Structure 1
Amino acid sequence: MKKEKAVIVGIRDRYDSEWEVNENMKELRLLSNSAGIEVLEQIVHENRQINPKYYIGKGKAESLAEISTQNGLDCVIFDIELNPSQARNLEKLIGKKIIDRTGLILDIFAKNARTREAKTQVELAQLEYLMPRLTRYWTHLSRQEGGVGIGLRGPGETQLEVDRRSIKKRIKKLSEKLKKIEKIRQTGSKKRKDLFKAAF
């Protein structure tokens, strides 16, 4: 399977030392490798003020778009947590998949989950993380189909609504499943304690 190629992006504010930033970038590179992503570029941005739209400045985001295109990269990984709006705006401007630190860690957890309980917990966390970010995965459809006009609904929007309903149902089902698993585990634990007491 072909590995995704990425640029990792660190953010340094006025309170961060050079050592802290370097350590964070080393960790982000290791996390990316653990997720099966090949890191080809590394950039650290000095960020004195948070841009509400992109988190970083628009000029810096445009620079990332140029670097990503020139190097044939698949995604841009940020060493911060982006809110859904920022992730959507960055993806639209850069034209590549945007991954923040939380999304990257959840992906690693999913790959390493072994037990039924762990797999359920990770899937639930991923869906809860994805829910507010879902809109950006369908923006390309509305562009391809001419967008959504007044009194009209594009296929992307229709699919988005379907997906949101499906995810809500899945979240509810997983939450109920976790409660059952927890109950079974507690019952089993109580039985083992009772057996232990009986042995004495």
Structure 2
Amino acid sequence: MTGSELAEVAIIAASGDATGMPTNDVKSTEERHLERDRKKPQDKMREAEEVYLLMHRNCRVSRNIRANWYFEHLDKPVQIYSGPNDMSNEMLVYGMTPVDGAVEEHVGNEQLLFTRNTKMIFFAKLYRQVYVLDLSPSTLVADDEAGCCLFTLLIEHFKACLYSLTRQMVLPGKQLTLRPAIYLTVLVYTPYLTFEEKTV
């Protein structure tokens, strides 16, 4: 075998087979990354499906502030806040659910990846609700099909609405209980009730 043939054999042995294709011993970068992920599945961060954000009660959290929070935390890990009440932050993460995870799963202090597919849910510690009830004479007319008056159905549905409104909410992730303050106003309209004072 001549010197040129020996050099050609050495090149083939170093780079691959005689066709120029790499041998099975040489792995691509993607294959090495996949193998590394398979060896360390516990190091792979899970994605967040829902993130529950508590809005500050002493400042107005506008849409621009919410959008800024979204872009600042996009493709970054987020964690449930477990410290004391922080009055400097406009929004704090108080609950999370992972992708393909149960709602009652206890995430604890685990960090989840906030992606563009993550749903943001905002809530507050103070709510103001205003209800306007129409008690005009037409609500007291009996309905033959329903077997009752519209007034009866109106009161029953209003009662069920108030009951659902006052129920406590358990935030997922750390099972924190939310008990917000609710300021309720009920206005009743009827044409037979008038006031001598002029309305403003």
Give me the TM-score of the superposition, normalised by structure 2.
0.22
**Greater relative CO (CA pairs within 8 A, separation 6+):** 2
Which structure has more strand as a fraction of its residues? 2
Give me the TM-score of the superposition, normalised by structure 1.
0.22
Larger radius of gyration: 2
Which structure has more helix as a fraction of its residues? 1
